[in-house]
């Protein structure tokens, strides 16, 4: 079925009106007012008329050319095909100008790409525009390799790519993360003098960023003499996508200072999501201010990115205020808010929000269900979760995807129903991925189930043999159950494979700067003061009954040593820094790349009570809100 196409623009309407100055127009216009014409609905009439015109030798090359141009403009593929058939009958089929327009039209849709290719192959004289059109078609719709193949064919024929060819083919490299090919094209672009062109430059920046080499993106950026807003945005996005929110923000400031009108929705959303993923709220707030000054804060996409940012930075209440202020609540906004509540363990709020959404005009989609199910999983709401999971397919016709299964595995697993979780995995119609087995392995660690834990690890090793985190999880499970032989076995396995435990890192933002800490770190300028603060806190805690729990220490070492290892875990250093740097009563937000260990969890509870602070710790799994000696997760993570 054809999708409706937007009403004809003026020139087309006048042209159609011109065409329909025959009987057919009268009958057509009497049934439908002409301003509501859809192109596809009038196309058959166009063809009738063209038949009549051509039979009386009045149809010209120019006439078909402009008609096809309209088809391209309207993306009207069906009329285009009918015109194509007509042209073939008339012997115009491979006329270079008309055929180029047809290829251009077909190359817009993936379904029609084979037509475009067939036609392309039959055109005897192909100019660079024609090549570009087809390369673009493949770069947009895939297979991406075809875009690269065409590029090499073009070079073999001795044709010179231009500043359209190169961005398209670089886009294909980005999609394939084919950095080698990308580098080759980069070299070629330098050779033929296109490397500092703004289109090519932006595409190179994007290609390197997508391949994870942000340093090369920056090199390209720095080498460009002229930069427009697109180039700046590409570089900002490069930082954002690769986890350098500070780089993104600094560049944003530079961009504003250089006089380029800074804001585009894309830039704002990029930096907001970079801030969100790094818990860099100060930065996020600055961008919020920026958005507000430039009048962008009311835009749906920006609003939703703001909701997501505040939620991820621990300010769910602010997120909610923004949500409530939305004039039109779209699915993405509901999803951001539901996920926000879920992450923070506010399962009831997430459920209430979901109920409200069901009553609204927005239809829940598969992302919504991921949000609600993960909220249930974080909140341990097993029955509710099961009910929602069942209703997803029954009432909304959404087939469960891997993400939904992951939520269910972790919901069942966390509740201790490990066998049921395993059965669900084994009965899945899709192949379980590492997320699924990872969820089972964490649950096994939570409930000390070595047998299923080993099964999960076996599968995980098949899927991602080089991820040290999996071995560490099982090793921790062995350590928890006092199985030091198992710990040694894991350590040996890791050594054999040359794997290192990923380094734990926690960070906290203070006055717009992100301060990062590793375990046992003494490199921070305020290190002495931080350790002093931790010692003072330690003393006070002991009086209140805190005892170091060394169970989660990976190594088989003496208790004394274990306790000193736990005591300098990275999140403690970040919290220590937060306490000495901020005023009494202000809350702290710490982000950690791994999960919080049992002992640190207890320790932070004590700190929240002693220092009378609200401490939010966002670890790899969820958010923990520590207040008055307890945590929002209810010790369930
Ligand atoms: Zn710890
Ligand atoms: Zn917690």
Span 192-203, pLDDT tens digits: 888 888 899 999
Please tell me the distance from the alpha carbon of residue 174 to that of residue 415, in angstroms, as a whole number: 42
CA–centroid distance, 318 to ligand 1, in Å, is 30
Across 235-262, average pLDDT: 78
CA–centroid distance, 283 to ligand 2, in Å, is 26
Question: For residue range 70-102, what is the model confidence (pLDDT) as tens digits?
Answer: 777 777 777 777 777 777 777 776 777 777 777
Looking at the fold, whether 467 and 572 belong to one and the same domain comes out as no
**Are 473 and 441 spatial neighbours (Cβ–Cβ below 8 Å)?**
yes
Looking at the fold, whether 493 and 517 belong to one and the same domain comes out as no
pLDDT-derived band of residue 108, with 50, 70 and 90 as boundaries?
confident
Listed residue (43, 118, 117, 44) closest to 75, CA to CA: 43
Please tell me the distance from the alpha carbon of residue 167 to that of residue 207, in angstroms, as a whole number: 9
Please tell me the distance from the alpha carbon of residue 319 to that of residue 325, in angstroms, as a whole number: 10
User: Can you tell me which residue has the tokens 């060394």?
Assistant: 550
CA–centroid distance, 596 to ligand 1, in Å, is 6
Residue 498 maps to a domain? yes
pLDDT, position 552: 54
pLDDT at 391 over 80: yes
CA–centroid distance, 560 to ligand 1, in Å, is 15
pLDDT, position 551: 61
CA–centroid distance, 94 to ligand 1, in Å, is 71
Looking at the fold, whether 515 and 626 belong to one and the same domain comes out as yes
pLDDT at 19 over 80: no
Question: For residue range 250-279, what is the model confidence (pLDDT) as tens digits?
Answer: 887 788 778 776 567 877 888 888 778 777
CA–centroid distance, 402 to ligand 2, in Å, is 26
- Pairing state between β 588-592 and 615-618: parallel
Taken in order 618, 619, 624, 628, is the CA torsion positive or negative? negative
Looking at the fold, whether 582 and 612 belong to one and the same domain comes out as yes
CB atoms within 10 A of CB 68: 24
Residue 62 maps to a domain? no
Please tell me the distance from the alpha carbon of residue 330 to that of residue 136, in angstroms, as a whole number: 32
pLDDT, position 563: 61
Q: Rounded to the nearest 5°, which phi and psi values hold at 594?
A: -120, -170
Residue 4 maps to a domain? no
Q: Which ligand is nearest the CA of 573, by number?
A: 1
Looking at the fold, whether 450 and 522 belong to one and the same domain comes out as no
Out of 473, 502, 531, a domain closes at 502
Residue 297 maps to a domain? no
CA–centroid distance, 344 to ligand 2, in Å, is 10
577 vs 466, which has greater pLDDT? 577
pLDDT at 246 over 90: no
Total-model pTM: 0.62
Looking at the fold, whether 622 and 519 belong to one and the same domain comes out as yes
38 vs 188, which has greater pLDDT? 188
CA–centroid distance, 451 to ligand 1, in Å, is 26
DSSP 372-434: HHHHHHHHT-HHHHHHHHHHHHHHH-PPP-HHHHHHHHHHHHHTT-HHHHHHHHHT-SSPP-H
**Are 185 and 153 spatial neighbours (Cβ–Cβ below 8 Å)?**
no
CA–centroid distance, 312 to ligand 2, in Å, is 16
pLDDT-derived band of residue 59, with 50, 70 and 90 as boundaries?
low
Structural domain of residue 623, as residue ranges? 505-631
DSSP 304-341: HHHHHHHHHTT-HHHHHHHHHT-SS--HHHHHHHHHHH
To the nearest 10 degrees (0 to 180), the angle between helices 331-343 and 316-324 is 160
CA–centroid distance, 421 to ligand 2, in Å, is 23
Q: Of 24-33, 107-116, 531-540, where does the model show the most confidence? A: 531-540
**Are 47 and 22 spatial neighbours (Cβ–Cβ below 8 Å)?**
no
CA–centroid distance, 375 to ligand 2, in Å, is 14
CA–centroid distance, 623 to ligand 2, in Å, is 7
Percentage of the chain lying above the pLDDT 70 cut: 86
Token representation of residue 263: 């804001």
Please tell me the distance from the alpha carbon of residue 608 to that of residue 558, in angstroms, as a whole number: 29
Looking at the fold, whether 485 and 517 belong to one and the same domain comes out as no
pLDDT, position 9: 33
Number of domains in the chain: 2
User: Can you tell me which residue has the tokens 């907001």?
Assistant: 272
Token representation of residue 383: 């029955």
Q: Which ligand is nearest the CA of 615, by number?
A: 2
Q: Which residues pair with 510 in a beta bridge?
A: 513
Out of 480, 502, 524, a domain closes at 502
Out of 459, 483, 502, a domain closes at 502
Residue 597 maps to a domain? yes
Looking at the fold, whether 585 and 569 belong to one and the same domain comes out as yes
Which contiguous run of DSSP H or E holds residue 517?
strand 513-518
pLDDT, position 264: 75
pLDDT at 111 over 90: no
Looking at the fold, whether 511 and 623 belong to one and the same domain comes out as yes
pLDDT, position 353: 94
pLDDT at 112 over 60: yes
pLDDT-derived band of residue 559, with 50, 70 and 90 as boundaries?
low
Please tell me the distance from the alpha carbon of residue 11 to that of residue 481, in angstroms, as a whole number: 77
Looking at the fold, whether 452 and 477 belong to one and the same domain comes out as yes
Largest CA distance in the chain: 104
Q: Which ligand is nearest the CA of 632, by number?
A: 2
pLDDT, position 242: 79
Looking at the fold, whether 473 and 583 belong to one and the same domain comes out as no
CATH assignment at residue 410: 1.25.40.10
Which contiguous run of DSSP H or E holds residue 575?
helix 570-581
Please tell me the distance from the alpha carbon of residue 317 to that of residue 275, in angstroms, as a whole number: 18
pLDDT, position 536: 93
Q: Name the CA radius of gyration of the chain, rounded.
A: 30
Number of H helices, E strands in the chain: 33, 6
């Amino acid at each position: 079925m054809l999708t409706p196409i937007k009403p004809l623009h003026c020139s087309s309407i006048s042209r159609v009106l011109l065409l329909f100055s025959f009987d057919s127009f009268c009958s057509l216009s009497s049934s439908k007012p002409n301003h509501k014409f859809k192109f596809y609905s009038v196309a058959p009439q166009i063809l009738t008329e063209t038949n009549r015109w051509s039979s009386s030798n009045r149809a010209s090359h120019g006439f078909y050319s402009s008609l096809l141009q309209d088809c391209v403009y309207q993306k009207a593929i069906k009329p285009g095909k009918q015109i194509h058939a007509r042209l073939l009958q008339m012997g115009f089929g491979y006329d270079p100008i008309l055929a180029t327009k047809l290829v251009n039209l077909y190359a817009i849709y993936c379904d029609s790409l084979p037509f475009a290719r067939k036609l392309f192959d039959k055109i005897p004289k192909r100019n660079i525009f024609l090549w570009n059109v087809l390369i673009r078609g493949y770069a947009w719709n895939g297979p991406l390799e075809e875009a690269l193949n065409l590029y090499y064919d073009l070079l073999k024929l001795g044709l010179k790519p231009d500043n359209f060819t190169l961005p398209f083919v670089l886009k294909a490299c980005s999609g394939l993360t084919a950095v080698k090919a990308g580098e080759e094209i980069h070299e070629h672009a330098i050779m033929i003098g296109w490397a500092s062109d703004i289109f090519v430059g932006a595409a190179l920046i994007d290609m390197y960023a997508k391949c994870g080499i942000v340093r090369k993106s920056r090199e390209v950026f720095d080498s460009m003499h002229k930069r427009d807003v697109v180039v700046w945005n590409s570089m900002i996005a490069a930082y954002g996508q690769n986890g350098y929110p500070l780089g993104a923000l600094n560049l944003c400031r530079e961009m504003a200072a250089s006089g380029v009108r800074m804001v585009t929705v894309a830039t704002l959303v990029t930096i907001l999501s970079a801030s969100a993923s790094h818990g860099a709220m100060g930065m996020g707030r600055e961008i919020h201010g920026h958005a507000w000054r430039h009048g962008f804060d009311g835009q749906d996409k920006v609003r939703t990115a703001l909701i997501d940012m505040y939620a991820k930075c621990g300010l769910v209440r602010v997120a909610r205020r923004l949500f409530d202020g939305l004039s039109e609540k779209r699915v993405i906004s509901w999803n951001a808010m539901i996920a926000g509540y879920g992450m923070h363990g506010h399962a009831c709020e997430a459920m209430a929000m979901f109920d409200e959404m069901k009553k609204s005009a927005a239809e829940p989609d598969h992302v919504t269900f991921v949000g609600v199910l993960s909220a249930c999983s974080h909140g341990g709401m097993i029955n509710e979760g099961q009910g929602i999971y069942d209703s997803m397919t029954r009432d909304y016709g959404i087939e469960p995807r891997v993400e939904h299964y992951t939520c269910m595995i972790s919901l069942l697993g966390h509740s201790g129903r490990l066998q049921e979780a395993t059965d669900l995995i084994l009965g899945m119609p899709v192949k379980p991925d590492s997320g699924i087995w990872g969820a089972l392995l964490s649950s096994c660690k939570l409930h000390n189930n070595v047998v299923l834990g080993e099964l999960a690890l076996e599968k995980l090793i098949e899927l991602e043999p080089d991820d040290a985190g999996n071995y560490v999880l099982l090793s921790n499970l062995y350590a928890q159950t006092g199985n030091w032989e198992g710990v040694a076995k894991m350590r040996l396995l890791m050594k054999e494979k040359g794997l290192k435990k990923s380094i734990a890192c926690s960070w906290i933002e203070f006055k717009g700067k992100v301060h990062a800490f590793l375990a046992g770190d003494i490199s921070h300028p305020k290190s002495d003061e931080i350790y002093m603060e931790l010692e003072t806190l330690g003393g006070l805690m002991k009086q209140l009954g805190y005892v170091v729990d060394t169970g989660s220490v990976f190594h088989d070492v003496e208790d004394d040593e274990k306790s000193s290892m736990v005591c300098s875990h990275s999140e403690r250093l970040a919290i220590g820094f937060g306490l000495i740097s901020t005023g009494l009563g202000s809350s702290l937000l710490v982000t950690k790349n791994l999960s919080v260990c049992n002992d640190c969890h207890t320790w932070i509870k004590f700190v929240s009570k002693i220092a009378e602070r609200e401490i939010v710790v966002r670890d790899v799994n969820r958010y923990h809100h520590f207040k008055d000696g307890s945590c929002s997760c209810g010790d369930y993570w």
